[in-house]
Structure formats: C-alpha cells, structure tokens
Amino acid sequence: MAFIHPMVILLAILSGVYTGFLGWKRFRFRRGRGTASEFPWQKHIQWGKRFYILLWIGSFIGFGALFYLKGEIFTSGLHAYLAVLILLLFSIGVALGGKLSKGKGTNRLALSHLIINYSTFFFVLIQVILGVVFLTFFL
C-alpha cells in the first residue's frame, strides 16, 4: 500500500507539469510572445482537474498508509506537514483557476494563479526528496 501512494503522486506531478506547460502558453500570449490559438484552454482545464484529483487521491492513500502502518497520520513528520501545505496551496490555485474559467478573472488574478501553482512545485520537489528518504530508510 505504501508504494501505491508514490505512483499516484507521480502521475499527479506529471499531470501538473503538463498542465503548467499548457498554462505557460497563455502567459506567453499575454506577454506578446505567442498567439491566442496556441493556448489550449479546455485542455489546460481538463489536465488541471486530473492533476488536482490525482493529488488528493494520492494524498489520501499516503495518509491512509501511514494510519494503517503507524496508527497516526503525521508520523512522517515534515513530509506529512508539507503535504498539507501543498494541498492548501494547490487548492487556492485551483480556486483561482475556477474563477478564471468562468471569465470572472483579471490578468492579475491569472498571474496570481500562475505564481501560486508554479511556486508550489518547489515544495513538491522537496516533498519528493523527503518521500524517497522516507521510503528508503524508514519503511
């Protein structure tokens, strides 16, 4: 069960990176370096939803594995606490994206959406390193 969690999270990360790549095309267009047709808006939304759902499923699997193995959720220390922070930040980013998809956003909101989601991937990188250490040395 502990190895299902990293597999689902890896799929989520790959989905998120692809979603970010698609979103980058929008950023380039808004800065005059691309055309509007280069931004596949619907595809960006679909992959963003996949990413977000996989992220939550993977997190629940991870928390469930910890609870099953250790009887508590936060026994992995920083790895678990960072997971909560990542879920919170991506939830904010998705909420902003939802507002944007309804046409109720501004360029400033789109930039906030981009900054929150892109910068959260820094925490994801730390999380992956902690997860590898956790699996290697503690399980």
What is this structure's pTM? 0.89
Spatial CA neighbour of 77 closest among 131, 12, 139, 9: 131
31 found inside a domain:
no
38 found inside a domain:
no
26 found inside a domain:
no
Q: Are 79 and 124 a contacting pair, CB within 8 Å?
A: no
pLDDT band at 138 (very low <50, low <70, confident <90, very high): low
Q: Is 111 helix (H, G, I), strand (E, B) or coil?
A: helix
81 found inside a domain:
yes
List pLDDT tens digits, range 60-96: 999 998 899 889 988 888 999 999 999 999 999 999 9
pLDDT band at 2 (very low <50, low <70, confident <90, very high): low
67 found inside a domain:
yes
113 found inside a domain:
yes
- Tokens representing 96 are 């902003």
d(CA 4, CA 61): 7
User: Tokens 């250790």 appear where?
Assistant: 70
Full domain range(s) for residue 97? 4-12+51-137
pLDDT band at 137 (very low <50, low <70, confident <90, very high): confident
105 found inside a domain:
yes
What value does the mean pLDDT of the chain take? 90
35 found inside a domain:
no
List pLDDT tens digits, range 19-70: 999 988 888 877 777 776 778 889 999 999 999 999 999 999 999 988 998 8
| Residue 80: partners with Cβ closer than 8 Å, 6 or more residues away | 62, 63, 66, 73, 74
Q: How many domains does the chain have?
A: 1
Give one word for 77, left, alpha or beta, with left for phi > 0 and alpha for psi -120 to 50: left
